Amino acid sequence: MEFRLEQKRNVVTEIPGPKSKELAERRAKYVSNSVGSGLSAFIESADGAILRDVDGNQFVDFGAGIGVTSVGNAHPKVVKAVQDAAAKGTHFQVNVAGYESYIDLAEKLTQLTPGDFDKKAALFNSGAEALENAVKIARKYTGRDAVVVFDHAFHGRTNLTMAMTAKNMPYKDGFGPFAPEVYRFPASYPYRDGLTGEEAAARTALAIEKQIGAKNVAAIVIEPLQGEGGFIVPAEGFLPALVKFAHDNGIVFVADEVQAGMCRTGKWFCSEWDGIEPDLVTSAKGIAGGMPLSAVIGRAEIMDAPHAGGIGGTYSGNPVANAAALATIAAYEEEGHAQKALDIEAKVKGALEPLVGTVPTVGEVRGRGAMLAIEFVKAGGKEPNAEIVGQVVAEAQKQGVMLLTCGTYGNVIRLLPPLIITDELLDDSLEVIIEAIKKFS
């Protein structure tokens, strides 16, 4: 693959450099302080797995815009599709008149999501909007109100999705009151709860029955691999048991694949690893190579439950974003990105797993495909260690490796590189990461 920017980290100034410092001053004056940034440098350009800042520093991008540019930043096929589509019309608006790219994308998505049953799709802009609409659709279909969500969940920042999101700071504090009829239960966190998948699911099912009554539940909404909450892979059998419980009780099972979907875990959708067929899937982030687009895809009879005009939005299914999504999906197919995610997993786990048991602050290395994480603990136990996470991220940043954190306790470093990251860049970055971990452990 040809890249516009050399796929190499290169730090040429202190971070932030002089131009970034100037921008920081302007930001402090004009941008609301509520919009925070992890990296103190300001980005000028990005390509593949490299972020280049305004001072010419190059960082290896282990965030991919929080799992968005999985196909690679500014992928040439996506750029061309966006340019061509924009030249034909920057917006049509689906409630005004239909257009083919909306249908093409809906058709494609119904083919990619798990389950051999009739499916339909509806398009939106953000992940949160997809979640909101999945809940609306499930409520209309079931005629029920209650929504079940889980500890460590992240579903968005709108009022309903704040209610569905678990973590108070920074997502909810002072922003209530939150939407009613949202109930939270423990899920499965093998490193911390020690339960088998069946045990964890039985605990959840009993709690739902006792606290809400299964017959009152419209939807169970869960990330098949919890993202912001700590990249938590549920114990084997947990998700299938939860799907069975949902179906035994007429509940719509919604897999929030906003972060874990679209080849990120080495399959089109993470649900496939657990062999489950969700009734509804929410997708966003990696779906359109960086353009804002999200979708709800699922069983035709459920998707058709709301009345005509009940679901929509001004920008939903914008034709430029649709073209980007179709090009992104074509690139995933043609360039074998799912396999690339598995190659990344093998390399990263091969390098990092030996730290478990030898470096006392490394509690667990986990994840699927290119959705990988290291959970840090205080030496000798499992008490979350957020301090070292800050130190490792800062040290890696100085060396030109941009890392993101996550976890309810802030003690997890996540690796979410674009799937096209080169072997050399990955090897080189892993050395930096390991050295930083050892330095502060």
Interacting residues with ligand PLZ (CB under 6 A): 66, 126-128, 131, 154-157, 223, 227-228, 256, 258-259, 284
Contact 430, 352 (CB under 8 A): yes
> What is the Cα–Cα distance from 295 to 123, expressed in whole angstroms?
4
> What is the Cα–Cα distance from 276 to 270, expressed in whole angstroms?
9
Q: Least separation, in Å, of the C-beta of 229 and ligand PLZ? A: 9
Q: Least separation, in Å, of the C-beta of 228 and ligand PLZ? A: 6
Helix (H, G, I), strand (E, B) or coil at 310: coil
Taking the least distance from each CB to ligand PLZ, the nearer of 57 and 133 is: 133
> What is the Cα–Cα distance from 74 to 84, expressed in whole angstroms?
15
Taking the least distance from each CB to ligand PLZ, the nearer of 57 and 271 is: 271
> What is the Cα–Cα distance from 433 to 423, expressed in whole angstroms?
15
What are the residues whose beta carbons fall under 8 Å from the beta carbon of 140, sequence distance 6 or more? 305, 306, 310
Cα–Cα nearest to 298, from 38, 65, 77, 118: 118
Taking the least distance from each CB to ligand PLZ, the nearer of 127 and 400 is: 127
Q: How is residue 410 written in tokens?
A: 């802030």
CA Rg value for the chain: 21
Taking the least distance from each CB to ligand PLZ, the nearer of 284 and 341 is: 284
Burial class, 194, CB count within 10 angstroms (exposed 0-12 / middle 13-18 / buried 19+): exposed
> What is the Cα–Cα distance from 316 to 288, expressed in whole angstroms?
13
DSSP string, 52-70: EETTS-EEEESSHHHHT-T
Task: Give the containing element (helix H, strand E) for 129.
Answer: helix 127-142
Taking the least distance from each CB to ligand PLZ, the nearer of 179 and 351 is: 179
Taking the least distance from each CB to ligand PLZ, the nearer of 256 and 345 is: 256
> What is the Cα–Cα distance from 83 to 74, expressed in whole angstroms?
12
Q: Least separation, in Å, of the C-beta of 259 and ligand PLZ? A: 4
Q: Least separation, in Å, of the C-beta of 67 and ligand PLZ? A: 7
Task: Using alpha carbons, list the distances in angstroms from residue 55 to 84, 388, 396.
Answer: 32, 28, 18
Taking the least distance from each CB to ligand PLZ, the nearer of 294 and 361 is: 294
Neighbouring C-beta atoms of residue 96, cutoff 10 Å: 9
Q: Least separation, in Å, of the C-beta of 226 and ligand PLZ? A: 8
Contact 281, 296 (CB under 8 A): yes
> What is the Cα–Cα distance from 96 to 87, expressed in whole angstroms?
20
Q: Least separation, in Å, of the C-beta of 309 and ligand PLZ? A: 23
Summary count for the chain: helices (H), strands (E): 14, 15
Q: Least separation, in Å, of the C-beta of 350 and ligand PLZ? A: 27
Q: What are phi and psi of 149, to 5 degrees?
A: -130, -175
Measured from each CB, the residue nearest to ligand PLZ is 127
Q: Least separation, in Å, of the C-beta of 132 and ligand PLZ? A: 9
Q: Least separation, in Å, of the C-beta of 276 and ligand PLZ? A: 16
Q: Least separation, in Å, of the C-beta of 283 and ligand PLZ? A: 10
Residues facing 367 on adjacent strands: 372
Q: How is residue 195 written in tokens?
A: 């339960």
Taking the least distance from each CB to ligand PLZ, the nearer of 156 and 369 is: 156
Taking the least distance from each CB to ligand PLZ, the nearer of 179 and 434 is: 179
Q: Least separation, in Å, of the C-beta of 284 and ligand PLZ? A: 5
Taking the least distance from each CB to ligand PLZ, the nearer of 128 and 252 is: 128
| Amino acid at site 140 | K
Taking the least distance from each CB to ligand PLZ, the nearer of 227 and 266 is: 227
| Amino acid at site 153 | A
